[in-house]
Amino acid sequence: MKNKEKKVILGYLNHHTIGRQNTFMPLGIGLIAAYSQSRFGNDIDIQLFDDPNAIFQEIPHIQPDVVGLTNYCWNSELNRLVFKKAKKINPSVVCIAGGPEFPRDLKECKEYLANRPEIDFYCYAEGEIAFSKLLENILENISLDLLKSVPHENMMSINPSNGELVKGNYEQIQDLNIVPSPYIAGIMEQWFTGEYSPSIQTMRGCPFTCSYCWTGVNPQNLRTYDLERIKLELEYIAVRMHKYPLVLLSIVDSNFGMYERDEEIAEYIRELWKKYDWPNAFDVTLGKSNYDRILRVNEKLNKRLLINCALQSMNLKTLAAIKRKNLPPDVFVNLQTEIKKQGMGSVTELIVPLPYETKESFIQGMKFVINNNVKLVPYTLMLLKGTDIASQEARNKHQMVTKFRLVPHQFGEYDQQKCFEMEEVCVGTDTITFHEYCEIRGLCFIMSLYSHKQYDVVFRLITESGALMSDSVLYLWDLIKSGKTGLSNLYFQYLGEVKSELWESPEDIKAFYSKEENYKKLLTGELGDNLLRKYLTKARLEKFPESLDLAFHTLPLITNHPLTDEMVEAVGAAKEWMIATRNIGELLDNKYEWKSVKLLSLPFDVNSWYEAGSVSKPLVTYKKSTNYQICYDFTRIDNIFVQLSKIYGTDKTFLIGKMLINYPVQDLWKICKPAS
């Protein structure tokens, strides 16, 4: 029997202790709130949170009847503290977790919940309807013990009377449109401050079955939202975001751009951009096929997407083991040619160490990537709960060596309790030793540095000389490992942290970082960051001239024929032009220096050669004494820092590192034009 309204707290929590790693509006809990609100109206009072400090402060005042939190590897320990806090205030509060940080094996599910008595229910699949059905029972004031002893759709619990796992039936939402838009319902208004990126979903499901991915091992039918609903959401969002033109739009589909309707969505976004000057940047997971369509989608989005031509591995045996199929190499190469022809950029990921991969096969894959002028994003294999590759069977079969590490910057202190988020990673298999894993991480650092847009001039000059970019990078790697270069110290610092960030158990991590002297190092950023981002940012900001010196030093050493005097002169001009226009480390200096205008005189028209792109003739044919006027677009650069500091904080090094993930580096380059 119903009585007074139930107070419901929903949270998508992210640690904000040092910078902000996740800057997206909490769409997931917004959808759950919108559906429940549409069903129960005034019978419930729902409040949404993303700030952990706010939720800890408000729980004693709200005294909720229900707490629901989205559970990821970057917030699961924080969620436990929140649930415990809520139980301490009100022992009868119903605590519901949901999200991908949950096993798939039923024995492991039971163990997971038994070790977390503060969680009453775990929603292991789609949550909108499942949460509302459970909430309907809660509104009837059915006792918590009874609720936990019977199955509920898409929910698991531990039966209090016998300690057994109770699992409800798995159900999918067949018509997504029955869930109201949280934007149109006004539920997301508190996040339109310029400090958060709006997220939309146009469809659910994924046709791929990659064994390392949670989506791949939890297959769903492809289901779509109506196009008119999507357009209404986008218009609603754009009206509120036009004041923040640099804040990106996130599209959370698993394969955006792959389907016919995505072209219509992209065209509508383009019309919004013309009207509101927003969005100008995106966070999107693109599809893994139908690249002709993806290129058309990107054209409509002003070429602001990096075309993700995901590989993960080039080893055929590895691909079979992880249930993945790549584009054939010749098709991949032709695609890269077309991408460059259209003036777009591309990126790919490689994961190490996957089953059957060896050091040699991984390096062959990296060479293929960089020789096709594709930005490389390498990942250490993360053993995500519920994925095939994290199963005990896979661990045993491939003799996986695993360690634990802190999720970057995901820590905090709440209610006088320190909290740390940890992830399990694979650092060795029966085909890659731990020593080889560390070597590969070192090579990945060098490859990632030089495959970036910041160094694309180097790639073009190497190609013009008839050499391969991979030969240059492997030569650079050997030089850097010798300890005699301007990048060597940074390289060895990186490798040192690659090893020291790994621990045998979560308990070891907690014990180490709970010590006050080590916790202070987390607070200053000395420890606990994403290592690849941290050191790539250091290289680009602090060591850019040195990194160019090295790259240009190797050029004559890897060609099949000596460089002529004219070629040497042209290469020197290109290097001088790059340092003058791309030394973004200057942005860490006094901002008023950004207004200065400098003159640059070169014996070759490097700027015209660069702007001609893939159809240019060799640089030596651009021999012409040219004077340039070089300066920053002060207003643009200042706007970038002002707007993005609201999202990422005021630490410029951290801000630039995060910015370069979703925004083009050329936004930070100086403008170069002929001097009058």
Which residue reads 């801000």 in tokens? 655
Residues forming a β-bridge with 602: 626
Q: Using an 8 Å Cβ cutoff, are 591 and 317 in contact?
A: no
Q: Would you say domain 6-167 falls under CATH 3.40.50.280?
A: yes
208-219: average pLDDT: 69
> Which pLDDT tens digit goes with each residue over 95-136?
999 999 999 999 999 999 999 999 999 999 999 999 999 999
Chain-centroid distance of CA 442 in Å reads: 21
144-160: average pLDDT: 97
Q: Report DSSP letters for 575-590, one per residue.
A: HHHHHHHH-GGGGGS-
11-27: average pLDDT: 90
Residue 640: pLDDT band with limits 50, 70, 90? confident
What is each CA distance from 104 to 151, 157, 404, 425, in whole angstroms? 17, 14, 20, 18
Residues with Cβ within 8 Å of 221's Cβ and at least 6 positions away in sequence, in order, are: 172, 174, 205
Q: Is the dihedral of CA 316, 322, 324, 326 positive or negative?
A: negative
515-540: average pLDDT: 95
SS3 477: helix
- Percentage of the chain beyond pLDDT 90 is 80
Among candidate residues 516, 521, 517, 525, the one with its CA nearest the CA of residue 418: 516
Go through the chain and tell me how many residues it has: 676
- Tell me how crowded residue 470 is: count the other CB atoms within 10 A of its CB: 22
Rg value, the chain, Cα:
26
Q: Is 16 exposed, middle or buried (0-12, 13-18, 19+ CB in 10 A)?
A: middle
Residues forming a β-bridge with 157: 166
Q: In one letter, which amino acid is 507? A: E
* Cα–Cα distance measured from residue 407 to residue 167, given in angstroms and rounded to the nearest whole number: 30
Q: Using an 8 Å Cβ cutoff, are 95 and 156 in contact?
A: no
Write a three-state SS string for 214-280. CCCCCCCCCEECCHHHHHHHHHHHHHHHCCCCCCCEEEEEEEECCCHHHHHHHHHHHHHHHHHCCCC
213 pLDDT more than 90: no
Structure tokens belonging to residue 303: 């070429």
658 pLDDT more than 90: no
Q: Report DSSP letters for 509-529, one per residue.
A: HHHHHHSHHHHHHHHHTSSSS
Q: In one letter, which amino acid is 209? A: T
- Tell me how crowded residue 456 is: count the other CB atoms within 10 A of its CB: 21
What is each CA distance from 125 to 94, 130, 152, in whole angstroms? 18, 9, 12
Q: Is 219 exposed, middle or buried (0-12, 13-18, 19+ CB in 10 A)?
A: exposed
**Strand order from edge to edge, sheet including 94-98:** 44-49, 6-11, 66-70, 94-98, 121-123, 155-158, 165-167
Q: Where are the domains of the chain?
A: 6-167, 363-561, 587-674
Q: Using an 8 Å Cβ cutoff, are 548 and 454 in contact?
A: no
Among candidate residues 293, 286, 256, 302, the one with its CA nearest the CA of residue 346: 286
- Tell me how crowded residue 76 is: count the other CB atoms within 10 A of its CB: 22
> Which pLDDT tens digit goes with each residue over 423-481?
999 999 999 999 999 999 999 999 999 999 999 999 999 988 889 999 999 999 999 99
50 pLDDT more than 60: yes
Query: Cis ω on the peptide bond leading into residue 674 (within 30° of 0)?
Result: no
* Cα–Cα distance measured from residue 334 to residue 292, given in angstroms and rounded to the nearest whole number: 12
**Strand order from edge to edge, sheet including 375-380:** 306-308, 345-352, 375-380
Among candidate residues 15, 383, 65, 31, the one with its CA nearest the CA of residue 188: 31
What is the reported pTM?
Answer: 0.92
- Tell me how crowded residue 646 is: count the other CB atoms within 10 A of its CB: 17
2 pLDDT more than 60: no
The predicted structure's pLDDT at residue 592: 60
355-370: average pLDDT: 96
* Cα–Cα distance measured from residue 130 to residue 124, given in angstroms and rounded to the nearest whole number: 10
Among candidate residues 39, 203, 56, the one with its CA nearest the CA of residue 131: 39
Structure tokens belonging to residue 457: 């001039």
Q: Using an 8 Å Cβ cutoff, are 163 and 118 in contact?
A: no
> Which pLDDT tens digit goes with each residue over 363-397?
999 999 999 989 899 999 999 999 999 999 999 99
What is each CA distance from 445 to 78, 215, 428, 564, in whole angstroms? 31, 28, 18, 32
SS3 351: strand
Write phi, then psi, for 8 (nearest 5 degrees): -120, 130
The whole-chain average pLDDT of the chain stands at 93
Residue 216: pLDDT band with limits 50, 70, 90? low
Write phi, then psi, for 404 (nearest 5 degrees): -120, 150
Residues forming a β-bridge with 487: none
Q: In one letter, which amino acid is 675? A: A
Q: Using an 8 Å Cβ cutoff, are 491 and 445 in contact?
A: yes
* Cα–Cα distance measured from residue 555 to residue 557, given in angstroms and rounded to the nearest whole number: 5
> Which pLDDT tens digit goes with each residue over 481-523?
999 999 999 999 999 999 999 999 999 999 999 999 999 999 9
The predicted structure's pLDDT at residue 219: 59
| CA angle (76 as vertex; 73, 79 as ends), nearest 5 | 155
Which residue reads 């990107």 in tokens? 298
Q: Using an 8 Å Cβ cutoff, are 57 and 209 in contact?
A: no
198 pLDDT more than 90: yes
Residues forming a β-bridge with 24: 197
Among candidate residues 99, 120, 55, the one with its CA nearest the CA of residue 81: 55
Structure tokens belonging to residue 3: 């009585």
Beta strand 401-414 with 417-428 is antiparallel
SS3 433: coil
- Percentage of the chain beyond pLDDT 70 is 98
| CA angle (373 as vertex; 320, 378 as ends), nearest 5 | 50
Q: Report DSSP letters for 529-574, one per residue.
A: S-HHHHHHHHHHHHSHHHHHHHHHHHHHHHSSSPPPHHHHHHHHHH
* Cα–Cα distance measured from residue 578 to residue 166, given in angstroms and rounded to the nearest whole number: 63
Residue 1: pLDDT band with limits 50, 70, 90? very low
Among candidate residues 401, 428, 323, 318, the one with its CA nearest the CA of residue 365: 318
Beta strand 671-674 with 598-604 is unpaired
